[in-house]
A and B are shown apart, each in its own frame.
Chain A
Amino acid sequence: MNKPLRIALTKGRLEKDTVGLFEKLGYDCTSVHEKGRKLILPVPDGNLEVVLAKANDVITYVEHGVCDLGVVGKDTIMEMNGKFFELIDLGFGKCKFALAAKKGCDFYSGFGVKTIATKYPNVARTFFESKGMDVEIVKIEGSVELAPLLELSDGIVDIVETGTTLKENGLEVVEDICSISARFIVNTVSLKMRHEEIEELVKRIKECL
């Protein structure tokens, strides 16, 4: 048997959804359930090796080819960019990018340059560039909703799932930017050098979705 295909999963919810998908395909994922503190886990009957990583790192590992495959959110892909194939929209991990501001305020009014707080500066910059709008972007690491409340920014660009957090903090969506879901990504060289194995896996995943 060849050396296993290595797949990097985004730790947390996407990991659980992907493992669920693998189990539907009939792979034995016991090692992933009983991982303890291990970060590289074999899935023997699928000839796969699961690597658990943070979202940004999934892209880094796949880009460098040390992992052949990856499962990562479109949000991370949009923010990080990078060179890889984005083969399948897995359909889970659904949410959206949106521009939000304090409830009732008219975000687009006035001539002043707006300040935007976000964890996703590249996504925010691309969005406002497409509108031909000059904005000042401030990168925030934690709860972005705080920034407009503390009057650091006029609005935020962030992931919105149900909108409950926005509502509870007196914010509302001004405009949807795009929808997001989990993607199955593949290193550009792996797809060519291990074409048959990857194609087989992709076929099975697509059938299962």
Chain B
Amino acid sequence: MKNYDLITPEGTKDLLFDESFIRREIENSIHKIFRSRGYCEFITPGLEFYDVFNHNTSYFPQENLYKLSDSKGRLIVIRPDSTIPIARAVATRLKDATLPLRIYYNQQVYRTEPALKGRSDEILQTGIELIGSQSKTADLEVISTAASALKACGSEFSLEIGNIAIFKELVSRLDVSDSKKELIRQLIETKNFPALNDLLDAIGTSSVTTALKKLPALFGGEEVFEKAKKVMPDKKISRILDELSDIYSNISQICGYDCNITVDLGLVNKTNYYTGLVIKGYLAGHGDEVLSGGRYDKLISEFGYDIPAIGFAVNVDAAAKVNAKNTENLHPRCADAIVFGTPGRETQALIVAERMRNDGEIVENALFDDINAVREYAKEKKISKIIIVGEEDGSTEAVR
């Protein structure tokens, strides 16, 4: 039998020193942003009952979940997402809590990815959920927090907003089967103009099909709203567009115009999960989105508590990877000094080292018997100072 005792499973990896340092730095700066807006951390279990994720299987298809069974034979999944467990906890344990709730989380999620595609099965996500408000201010708070979180990732970024309700309204006016509607959604999501045009032409020509054909092309800056306005077939849909346009100009004011904020009316992913506003964030140098979120006003009601919510998640691993490529001098701080006790003075050396640490220095204890070995080690590890605790207590030598 083959032994797999020297490697990690596919889709996982060890993060050593620099890599974990960079990731932790990003986590910390994003959490500072969350906390400064009054968000409090939430930790959900790594294991959940499969049923929690089985309400609507289109959110997380069962083939993408890590599954096992508990000691009673019940089906368990390893957390593939944090929002749904938070929705579960809010609907049960926080039913009487004062609203709105401001929650942030920072935990790994696990999904099986196709083999040999270069993707991770284990992703560290950090994000927020603002629960219990449907107001525009709530939308603006979450979008501006997303912009700040992206900024904290330290690379060129772009934040994009859209509103899935425009697509939902349009498609609801077509008299076609659900599977056709799903096909239209897929073609808009992939901006597959040729196939979308063919499909909609076959359905017929109306103001609705014209608008649907245009939808995937309606992305970019402010000019998009002008163009979109011309193709919206009726007042109800125009109103959604106006709200989005309003949010767009407000958010540009809040974040400053140097924050690259764009709009895409063709953002129609996960339509069952999101109900309105959707947010995506990109970093230059990463081929997929690093931030994703939106309004999900119906999700928590699936657990029996009908309240609106909005949130987003950042793929911290992706942000760290981009950061590691861009920054060369971001390393964990190495020790300032190493303390060596001559034979018989080892305990004293430990005391000296402790005193220095209390003054804020990073100090290692030398674990060698021979001062030359200490010198060599210090040179190798770039430690600039050796403290020798001997006859005359605490002579210092610099390492060259």
Contact = CB atoms under 8 A, between A and B. Distances in A.
A189 B282 contact: yes
A190 to B, nearest CB: 8
Given A60-B117, A64-B118, A195-B220, A189 B191 contact: no
Contact of B190 (A66, A85, A88): A85
Given A64-B118, A65-B287, A192 B190 contact: no
Nearest to A89: B194
Given A192-B262, A193-B158, A195-B220, A63 B192 contact: no
A97 interface: no
Contact of A187 (B194, B195, B264, B287): B287
Contacts of B190: 84-86
B254 to A, nearest CB: 21
A83 interface: yes
Binding site secondary structure of chain B: loop
Contact of A188 (B117, B193, B289): B289
A193 B282 contact: yes
Interface in B246-263: 262
Contact of B194 (A64, A88, A190, A191): A88
A87 interface: yes
A188 B288 contact: yes
B287 A88 contact: no
Contacts of A64: 118, 287-288
Interface in A74-102: 83-89
Nearest to B160: A192
Contacts of A193: 156, 158, 282, 284
Contacts of B270: none
Contacts of A186: 191
B191 A85 contact: yes
* Residue of A89, A190, A193 with most chain B CB atoms under a 10 A cut-off: A193
Contacts of A86: 190-192, 195
A100 B118 CA distance: 35
A83 B286 CA distance: 14
B105 interface: no
B50 interface: no
Nearest to B196: A86
A64 B118 CA distance: 9
A66 B287 CA distance: 7
A189 B287 contact: yes
A189 B192 CA distance: 16
B80 to A, nearest CB: 18
B225 interface: no
Contacts of B287: 63-66, 187-190
B319 to A, nearest CB: 13
Contacts of B195: 86, 89
Interface of B: 117-118, 156, 158, 160, 190-195, 219-220, 262, 264, 282, 284-289
